[in-house]
Amino acid sequence: MTSRRPYVESPVIMSTVRLVAPFVLTFGIFVTLHGASSPGGGFQGGVIVASVIVMLSFAYGIDLTWEWLDKRVLVGITAGGVALFGGIALGAVLLGGQFLELAVYPVKDAVKYGIELVEVGIAMIVTGVIVSLFFALARGAMPPAGETDADTERGGNEAAATDGGNGSASPSAESTDGGENA
Amino acid sequence: MITWIEGGLLLFVVLTALMTAMLRDVLAAIIVFGGYSLGMAILWVVLQAPDVGLTEAAVGAGVMTVLFLVTIARTTRMTGLEVTTVDVNWSAAVLCVVFVFAVLATVPALPAVGAGPEANPAFGEVSSYYIENAYDDTHVENVVTAVLVAYRGFDTFGEATVVFAAGVAVLTVLRREVFE
Amino acid sequence: MIEGIGIGTGGTGSTLLLAGAVGVVFVSVLLLGRVMLGPTMQDRVIALNVIGSNAVIVIALLAGAMDEPAFLDIALVYALLNFLMSIAISKFTVERGGVL
């Protein structure tokens, strides 16, 4: 391991992910919202949306993506999904119906739009749980602080430095000082 | 009875399942398991269950392999093994095969696929009710979604909260390491 | 022999698409040999990637044969996410997950 040069993040993977990730995100949202008319739904769409974050982690480094990610948003969408589903279910009770009786909402096609909102809630739960699970498994129980970790951090920072001018939206651009303190 | 494409897919799925169990190298087993999920997704499509196929595709290609990988990345892995498969306990394997055939012997007694309520008392009436009335009741074209959220909303609510609770439980166990 | 396939709309074009799908499925079964034997992990990853591309083809052919365009969503999932599996395993093989 010492004789080999340190691993540098692959530009092929990074540019491919930068190209593909918006489409995967869009497709995940499509699968979630279009689950009423075609195969799909909240569980599938949530997994596809979560795989965008997984994809970014593999392209730009797991630690850098974790630092780039806003944890409040992560917790918010997970708990918000449960709140959305529960809110729709209990709102029907407030309007005089049964628990989860979607037909009592006073809008046209209430059941259909209720179902789609529920799917959105499920997708939020699944996305949040899978992203959290991924980072918990990938970052939890790290190996003892040794040269492997140091090499990883250095490789990540080099990639970020050579890759610096690619817009502020990508995780690598704002990670140059963030990679040291993991 | 069984079509060519089903036969090929079943061969593929059984081979990948056996290889997943037999390969000694964990990484190779994970790779083969990805192939298993590909075969299962196509099989669901052949059986006209696109919702299940989409789940299998998204989970198998998107997150399952990745979750296994990041898990074994934190373990030590045996490399340079001469033997590529694990030792098989043949008496246990024979017992399993005999048991599988004993269970398969009951399959001809099951009602045919798509049989009506008279042949299939457990599911017949409620299935045909869903298929006939789902669109009128919910205005949703995909009957699977209609059953999932409208007819069986309690189950789905429980399912979603179980996913949430399981995620919280896992994070509670791993919290100290992740957020340090 | 192919007439006994049992699914599809029954037209000649549908039968042709199904025959193609059967052929690609058996190619995938043969590719499992490379996954099994593959002396290096890279051989296995490439073989799995080809199987994934075959899955996209098979699902697209089946969607055409059964006249169900909604099945193409599943092919799209594989087309978009199959490379994630490949890059994950490829990056893992570098220093045994040290660079993940």
Average pLDDT value for residue range A19-35: 91
Q: Torsions phi, psi of A3, nearest 5?
A: -80, -20
Interface test mutation site (partner A, options B71, B149, B178, max chain A beta carbons within 10 A): B149
* Residue A147: pLDDT over 50: no
Q: What is the pLDDT of residue B6?
A: 87
Is pLDDT larger for residue C60 or for residue B171? C60
- A54 and C84 within 8 Å at the Cβ level: the answer is yes
Which fold would CATH assign to domain B1-77? Answer: Four Helix Bundle (Hemerythrin (Met), subunit A) (1.20.120)
The pair of structure tokens assigned to A157 is 């920072």
Task: Tell me the per-residue pLDDT of C4-60, one tens digit each, with 9 for 90 and over.
Answer: 444 555 577 788 888 898 999 999 989 988 888 877 888 888 999 999 999 999 999
Instruction: Tell whether B178 is within 8 A of chain A (Cβ).
Output: yes
Least confident of A74-78, B39-43, B80-84: B80-84
Instruction: Tell whether A25 is within 8 A of chain C (Cβ).
Output: no
pLDDT grade, residue C81 (50/70/90)?
A: confident
Question: What average pLDDT is seen over chain A?
Answer: 75
Residues in chain B with CB shorter than 8 Å from the CB of C68 are 48, 50
- C80 and A23 within 8 Å at the Cβ level: the answer is yes
Q: Is-contact A168 A174, C-beta < 8 A? A: yes
Residues 52-91 of C with CB under 8 A from B: 52, 55, 58-59, 62-63, 66, 68, 70-71, 73-74, 77-78, 81-82, 84-85, 88-89
Residues in chain A with CB shorter than 8 Å from the CB of B133 are none
Q: What is the pLDDT of residue A29?
A: 93
**CA-nearest residue of chain A to C96?**
A148
Instruction: Tell whether C41 is within 8 A of chain A (Cβ).
Output: no
Q: How many CB atoms lie within 10 A of CB B102?
A: 9
B62, B160, B167: residue with CB nearest A85: B160
B70, B137, B166: residue with CB nearest A137: B70
Inter-chain contacts counted by CB atoms under 8 A, chains A and C: 49
- C98 and A13 within 8 Å at the Cβ level: the answer is no
Q: What is the pLDDT of residue A26?
A: 93
Task: Tell me the per-residue pLDDT of A154-175, one tens digit each, with 9 for 90 and over.
Answer: 333 433 333 333 333 334 333 3
**CA-nearest residue of chain A to B62?**
A51
- Percent of all residues in chain A with a pLDDT value above 70, rounded to a whole number: 72
Residues in chain A with CB shorter than 8 Å from the CB of C77 are 27, 48
Q: Is-contact A116 A36, C-beta < 8 A? A: yes
Task: Tell me the per-residue pLDDT of B95-132, one tens digit each, with 9 for 90 and over.
Answer: 999 999 999 999 888 877 666 667 777 666 777 788 88
Shortest distance between the Cα of B123 and any Cα of chain A, in A, equals: 22
Q: Is-contact B153 A89, C-beta < 8 A? A: yes
Q: Which of B114, B109, B2, B13 is nearest to B60 (CA)?
A: B13
Residue B106, judged by CB atoms within 10 A of its CB (0-12, 13-18, 19+), counts as exposed
Instruction: Tell whether C30 is within 8 A of chain B (Cβ).
Output: no
Q: Which amino acid is it at B97?
A: V
Q: What is the pLDDT of residue A5?
A: 60
Instruction: Tell whether B46 is within 8 A of chain A (Cβ).
Output: no
DSSP β-bridge partners for residue B85: B23
- B139 and A112 within 8 Å at the Cβ level: the answer is yes
Residue A61 backbone zone (phi > 0: left; psi -120 to 50: alpha; other: beta) = left
Task: Tell me the per-residue pLDDT of A54-97, one tens digit each, with 9 for 90 and over.
Answer: 999 888 888 888 888 888 899 899 999 999 999 988 888 888 88
The span from the CA of B111 to the CA of B66, in Å, is 39
Ordered by start, the domain boundaries in chain B are 1-77, 115-180
Q: Which amino acid is it at B128?
A: S
* Residue B176: pLDDT over 80: no
The neighbours of chain C, by the rule of 3 or more Cβ pairs under 8 Å, are A, B
The span from the CA of A116 to the CA of B163, in Å, is 19
pTM of the model: 0.81
Task: Tell me the per-residue pLDDT of B137-162, one tens digit each, with 9 for 90 and over.
Answer: 878 888 888 888 888 888 999 999 99
Q: Which of A132, C48, C25, A136 is nearest to B174 (CA)?
A: A136
Residue B112, judged by CB atoms within 10 A of its CB (0-12, 13-18, 19+), counts as exposed
A38, A122, A132: residue with CB nearest B160: A122
Between the alpha carbon of residue B87 and those of residues A97, A132, B92, C38, the distances in Å are 61, 37, 12, 20
